[in-house]
Amino acid sequence: MTLPFYNYFTHGKIDENNYRSYSWPGLNIFAHERHIKAQVAHPAHALSSAVYGGGMLELNRVFNIYVDKHYRCDDPPRDIAEALHKWQEQADQCAGLLTAVRLEHTSIQEYMSSEFGLLCCTTAGVSNAARAGSERTVFDVHGKTQNRTPYIPGTINIMLWFNGQMTSGAMVNAVQTAVEAKAAALADAGVADSENGLPATGTTTDAIVLAVRQTTADDSQPLHTYAGTATALGAAIGRLVYDTVTESLQAGLQWKERNGHSNDI
């Protein structure tokens, strides 16, 4: 099952709110009313572009938090901090993402080999689709345009959990590969920039978190120094990102068709 929380959110099956990873034993992903929480027992080394918990850090939890289409993105870190406090979660050693994608459309896929394990968890919405390198509306350092309109929700959030060892350079390489796969998925889905109609490469607010276990029970597992598309690791990252972005988008489109919504996903 690659949409593991579909029945929890749509049919109220409360016993289907926990996904247990097989590629990273001890990694659990929980569905809650307003958020998805991925958690491991011991902190992992992470590289993150998350609005809350971005940069290089040690983390044991990643939150993907639902907001509606009318959310005002004036201070996302404050809003995430307030949500963590409400849920009685520690504010450190975690990353927080925001999404306007319905959480039942969370796609999870895994891969495991003798050298590493990999889990990818994605929510994909493209109402804010954009093409890097093309002329379009841009925002200042405060997230505002000249008319003071803030960012609006519409994003692709990707969590990658890597059960193995990786250099810092390979972590950057892994994120690069993931972004390429995301752009390929959007191209194949025919997603266009919402302003200029050109093929989109992402959205204006995409985020990614890569968490790496680094310490493994099997000392024979190699240290990965590359994660490009010519490596087994890069190939796995590409497949999982491509497939989860595609599946989450398709789930959103099917929901839109069933419910007669004219707005973009």
Query: Is 15 part of any domain?
Result: yes
What pLDDT is attached to residue 2? 86
Find the domain containing 78 and state its range.
6-134+147-258
Query: Is 142 part of any domain?
Result: no
Any idea what the Cα angle at residue 178 is, between residues 135 and 190, rounded to 5°? 50
Distances (CA, A) of 63 to 39, 83, 157: 9, 10, 10
Query: Is 26 part of any domain?
Result: yes
Query: Is 263 part of any domain?
Result: no
Quick one: tokens of 105? Answer: 């459309």
CA 12, chain centre distance (Å): 24
One digit per residue, the tens of pLDDT, for the chain of length 265 reads 589 999 999 999 999 999 999 999 999 999 999 999 999 999 999 999 999 999 999 999 999 999 987 787 778 999 999 999 999 999 999 999 999 999 999 999 999 999 999 999 999 999 889 999 998 887 776 656 555 445 566 799 999 999 999 999 999 999 999 999 999 999 999 999 989 999 999 999 999 999 999 976 656 789 999 999 999 999 999 999 999 999 999 999 898 888 876 555 5
Query: Is 184 part of any domain?
Result: yes
Q: List the beta bridge partners of residue 163.
A: 117
Buried b / exposed e over 214-235, threshold 16 CB at 10 Å, is beeeeeebeebeebbeebebbb
DSSP letters, 180-239, are HHHHHHHHHHT-B-TTT-SBPSEETT-EEEEEE----S-TTSPEE---STTSHHHHHHHH
Give the dihedral sign, CA 61/238/162/165: negative
Query: Is 265 part of any domain?
Result: no
For residue 26, give the CATH number of its domain. Answer: 3.60.70
Query: Is 141 part of any domain?
Result: no
DSSP letters, 10-74, are HH--GGG-EEE-SSSTT-EEEE-SSEEEEEEEEEEEEEE--SBS-EEEEEEEEEEEE--TT--TT
Q: How many domains does the chain have?
A: 1
**CA-wise closest residue to 45 among 194, 174, 205, 141:** 174
Query: Is 139 part of any domain?
Result: no
Give me the residue label for tokens 């593991």. Answer: 4
d(CA 47, CA 59): 10
Label residue 12 exposed, middle or buried (CB < 10 Å: 0-12, 13-18, 19+). exposed
* Number of neighbours of residue 202 by Cβ within 10 angstroms: 21
